[in-house]
Amino acid sequence: MPILAELSTAAKQRRVEIGLSQVQLAQLSGLSRATVNELETGKLHNLSLLRAEKLANALGLSLGVTRPRASKEGRALELAARTAAVSYGKKLPVDSLEDALLHGVVPPGYLPQLRAVLEEAPTGVLAEVAVEIENKHDVDRRKTWQVMRTLASVLKVQRGIWN
């Protein structure tokens, strides 16, 4: 499959998985909505490497590989929890993060840490978290993205992928 077709498939799948509209993805990546639409519908025949990289980075994808950037299997939740520990002395336990993303309820005392995860963790890590939860709990990764979006809204996270 030509790389532009691979990028099209991967970008649309990740955009839908995250719950972004084409307009939102365009704003995050610095592309026009028309370019995003043409890419997704196969009407775009040429995309500069710089523009493709901006799109891929906005979605946590890497170019040259047709899969999302992968963390070590089963370690995405751990990596995401460590993201919060950078800003706060009190560590966010991995099981607390996992429960929060499964049930949408944050244990008392961990609101700032969860906010830091949603604000600062790379999109690729968040994507791997959704995959890890899907594999461990048989929960569709789109549901996990929706829980993250809801928590981000409640916690007033300003990051573009949540707006």
Single residue among 31, 59, 87 that ends a domain in this structure: 59
Distance between start and end Cα atoms, the chain: 33
Indicate whether 64 belongs to any domain. Answer: no
Q: Whole-angstrom Cα distance, residue 19 to residue 16?
A: 5
> Do 147 and 85 share a structural domain?
yes
Whole-model pTM: value is 0.74
Residue 98's Cα: distance from chain center in Å? Answer: 16
> Do 112 and 142 share a structural domain?
yes
> Do 83 and 55 share a structural domain?
no
Indicate whether 122 belongs to any domain. Answer: yes
> Do 133 and 92 share a structural domain?
yes
Give the chain as a 3 state SS string. CCHHHHHHHHHHHHHHHHCCCHHHHHHHHCCCHHHHHHHHHCCCCCCCHHHHHHHHHHHCECCCCCCECCCCCCCHHHHHHHHHHHHCCCCCCHHHHHHHHHHCCCCCCCHHHHHHHHHHCCHHHHHHHHHHHHHHHCCCHHHHHHHHHHHHHHCCCCCHHHC
Residue range(s) defining the domain that contains residue 154: 76-162
Regions of the chain short of the pLDDT cut 50: 65-66, 70
Yes or no: say if 26 and 11 are a contact pair by the CB < 8 Å rule. Answer: no
Indicate whether 28 belongs to any domain. Answer: yes
pLDDT confidence of residue 67: 55
> Do 149 and 85 share a structural domain?
yes
pLDDT confidence of residue 66: 45
Yes or no: say if 55 and 31 are a contact pair by the CB < 8 Å rule. Answer: yes
Q: Considering its fold, how many domains does the chain have in total?
A: 2
CATH number at residue 10: 1.10.260.40
> Do 82 and 53 share a structural domain?
no
